[in-house]
Structure 1
Amino acid sequence: MSAAEWKKKCEDEWNLQGLPAPQSLDWKSVHEAKPFGRNLLKNSSPYGLSKDMAPPEPDLPEFPMRGPPIFQPEGDFTGWTTNIEVLPEDTSGIPAGVVICALPQFSWFTLEQTLDLKAEGLWDELLDEFQPEIVIQDWYEESQLHQSIYQLHVKLLGADKSTVISEHSVNPTEDLSIYSLTWKEVSHVFSGYGPGVRYIHFLHRVKNQFLNGFYATRFTGSSVIVKPLKSSS
């Protein structure tokens, strides 16, 4: 196919007519990269779970676990940079003189990725002038472990990877009086974010608990999708 034919194929497939693009743009490479409509995150469901099925019930151990506490959940976290923050035990609210046999020990499990938008097939003029919508979505488990079990921080970054052009954060508080064993959706659409965006930093944290066994807050279906729609200011 000729360059003009690859351009027309991209325009027809994603309705890109009139989008700003340099004459030198390699439309064949754009088509192969498929930057629109696909999830740019790698390994979006490392626990092997789907939002279309209810999260599995916690596996309650028959006997207390022996050995040191566990803070690392099981899963394939390829593609994610991970970190574990063990939180100090909370003894507030416990009356003086009470004998403490065991306290739950909580930890934050952080997972993050940085996406290179140009490496994913987008180009400068599109990002700076057209500013397509960037749709963020995530699903986390209603684990009931704590009032705060999930956090999300997404940043649109400049070419230096440090300049924050736009950002969105979520830190919900859970209602522990309601238990439905379901997935909770978190979503956001970046629009009118201004020129200069070249990278997306996606970070979320889920809280885990150890008390005679390990109990995780899991997530699934994390996604970052660029849509060929002009964002509004």
Structure 2
Amino acid sequence: MSEWKKRCEDEWSLHGAPMPDSVDWRSVYDVKPLGRNLLKNPSPQGVSKDTPPPEPDLPEMPTRGPPCFQPDGDFSDWTTSTETLPYDRSGIPPGAVVCQLPRYSWFTMEQVVDLKAEGLWEELLDDFQPEIVIQDWYEESQLHNSIFQLQVKLLGADKSTVISEHTANPTEERSVYSHTWKEVSHVFSGYGPGVRYVHFQHRLKNQFLNGFYGTLSTGSTVLVRPTKTSA
């Protein structure tokens, strides 16, 4: 067994995992595909789950000009889009005079991880099927009943075949003020052969009412754990 192959086997406890000689083990060891976050720029809004989310800035005067539905941040390595939602007029009694309604939008961030490009090899993904761990944190608030949505897909080599999928759409408890980080996580296991990509997407709800109020996220994570799984 080559020195680099032995290092990979020992460091990641891959005893019993398929480790063909055709793999460039020096390159695998250098990129360290197991146990690290495979998403790039995981906290584009510049906040950390290790410190409390900042309190929103409440302007004394209404913001002039057109509404802003784009949050601040460096979103390089992410594909982003904004969906402005129609005004919600439910619950307004007939004949009631409404001066202003909040306007909501979804801000979507997505990224595709190429598992082979990150150093994983086909035999490991197909036969050993290591756990694929998803983590994300978002800012709890009283902005709306639903302020965060997560969708993660394990895709085949054609990037369109969905082999496994996980979605989360938590509901907020608005009767009690809570302004902390809330974790959303999932572990893919026993997903079957053929996985080559991970499509990670989350959506954050924003509000415009006399100013822009966005939902923050941080610590988006996709990591492959050297734990053998079975169906």
Does TM-score exceed 0.5, indicating one fold?
Answer: yes
In structure 1, list runs of 5 or more residues that go unmatched.
none
Q: Distance in 1 between matches of 2:201 and 2:70?
A: 17
Shift of 1:175: 1.0
Q: Distance in 1 between matches of 2:162 and 2:181?
A: 30
2:29 to 17, 28, 31: 31
Q: Distance in 1 between matches of 2:52 and 2:177?
A: 13
Note the 1:1-233 alignment, pairs <5 A: 4-233=2-231
SS at match of 1:29: helix
152-161 vs 173-182, which deviates more? 173-182
Shift of 1:81: 0.3
The answer to whether the 8 Å contact 1:14/1:228 transfers is yes
Shift of 1:143: 2.2
Aligned AA (1:201): H
Q: Distance in 2 between matches of 1:8 and 1:179?
A: 53
Q: Distance in 2 between matches of 1:191 and 1:35?
A: 17
Indicate the RMSD between aligned Cα atoms, in angstroms: 1.0
Give the count of matched residue pairs. 231
Shift of 1:99: 2.1
TM-score (norm 2): 0.98
Shift of 1:98: 2.2
SS at match of 1:168: strand
The answer to whether the 8 Å contact 1:143/1:216 transfers is no
SS at match of 1:51: coil
Aligned AA (1:189): V
The answer to whether the 8 Å contact 1:147/1:175 transfers is yes
**Runs of at least 4 residues off by over 6 Å:** none
